[in-house]
Structure 1
Amino acid sequence: MNIFKSHFWYNKSQRNGILLLGIFIIILQIFIFTDPFSKDEIINSETPELIVFQQQVDSLKLLEIENRKPKIYPFNPNYITDYKGEQLGMSIDEIDRLLAFRKTNQFVNSKEEFQKVTQISDSLLAKISPYFKFPDWVIARNKQKESQKFTSTSKSSNTYQNKSSYTKKTISTSDINKATAEDFKTINGIGPAFSKRIIKYRSKLQGFSYKEQLYEVWGLEKEVADKVLSVFKINQKPILKKVNVNTVEFKELLKNPYIDYELCKKIFNYRDEVAELQNISELKNIKDFPLELYDRIVLYLLAE
């Protein structure tokens, strides 16, 4: 009993100390739970500063989302793969229709033909068609159809002028590669604009090697082109500047009037695979190579 008494018996000063300690602990607990210095401040989120700040944050979020979206670069829709089609938002059936069409060795040459083959919606066509990149000769042919009304009007005007003041004109040469703008203007239906356009395209080709190349001149109707070819011939084929397909640079190869970006990339990939083309005819081994343009493409290429 003395043992317990020794542990629980305190003198007056000790009891006062214990009492003060208890009071201090109680006060501390009240202070912690009530926190008299804290105030629930209500922040006004409608202040002009906060509104401007929130708008800036939202614009940065939208910019980040836009930057994360895959970029779309110009491409030839004839060479769309499963992965590319999925990126563009095409369904599997739409991609399969295009691939089946391409297996028949045919090409779509306009956004209307692309929609007809794939059966994509108007909204998706409007979204991706601005990125379509067709070869120059395809673009020229498409624009020719669009300009038929304008050409018809010009033709009527030229016909009226010829009837009102017609004088027989002579030509300086019958060689289409040497003919001048004045020579071409002797053909009914060829005015200053078309004569300059023919010469400009002839310069791009370094001269006409095939008479059919005249039909590639933008806006020139087949009937008018036939009249030109009835007067002017290819008396002597031009001497074209050829480049070595094994050493040519990418930008230089793109100058070929019949090679677009996608085909240029395929040629370079094939060149990397085989190390060196032994014969220019090896281009036909490239997957999806446009065989119908082979004779014109190789006019400007050689393999050495």
Structure 2
Amino acid sequence: MKIFKSHFWYNKSQRNGILLLVTLIVLLQVFIVIDPFSRDEKINLKSTELLAFQHQIDSLKLIELESRKPKIYPFNPNYITDYKGEQLGMSLDEIDRLLAFRKTNKFINSKEEFQKVTQVSDTLLNKIAPYFKFPDWVVAKNNKSKSAATSNSVQKSYNKKRNYKLTTTDINKATAEDLKTINGIGEAFSKRIIKYRSKLQGFSFKEQLYEVWGLDKEVADKVLAVFKINEKPIINKINVNTVEFKQLLKNPYIDYELCKKIFNYRDEVAELQDISELKNIKDFPVELYDRIVLYLLAE
């Protein structure tokens, strides 16, 4: 007992120190378990700031990826190697066709010849063709050939127009081929004129030709120098007092706003006694009156 007593017997100051130490240890353990500095708040992954930051990171990643891509510089397609062809996106078969062609001591002088020899797709050709660099004499030769082809095409077109015999000189009966005899009128404009003529139910005034979208006045004057309004069209007029809204909108000179004004005016007066009463409508386009009344009457 004396042995144990010598080891466990403490004075009051020592016992107080041990008690304080134990208390501190217990408090420290409680502090660790509770962890008052921990945050239970959940981070909003869809917050504006976080999304903006993520977008910035994605942009930087794209810039980095673009900078790593091999840059394409102008090159002569006759000297494409296996490595160069692979970089450009060509398949092994396409590269082999090119190399086999070059072994015959022949040269490719245009992007069309390149596609013909290699059989690359149109998509790949459009992607790499802008980087093709041919010798100056080849470029000059190609330009000369294109100019000659264009000249021949223009000459053939001119001869065709000159030799064509008109079926009529009435603009309301002229066919697309008749109209194409006029210099400046091609396939597109001839169809556009006929389409607009159908919309109008025929040209009643020669000035209506100037309304064809995209047609220059000089070209229109050339058309009117050859084609005239020999017979005015017979237009089916509709009664402004009974016409429905959608039907009135079909008038080529009446837009939505004017259509509303006409209907409001009709409601005010109950019935139009004469078609000229349309001029009483506020902001009515008087300059279009002659054209608008081609399709309307008051009964």
Q: TM-score, normalised by structure 1?
A: 0.49
Q: TM-score, normalised by structure 2?
A: 0.50
Higher RCO, 1 vs 2 (CA within 8 Å, ≥6 residues apart): 1
Larger radius of gyration: 2
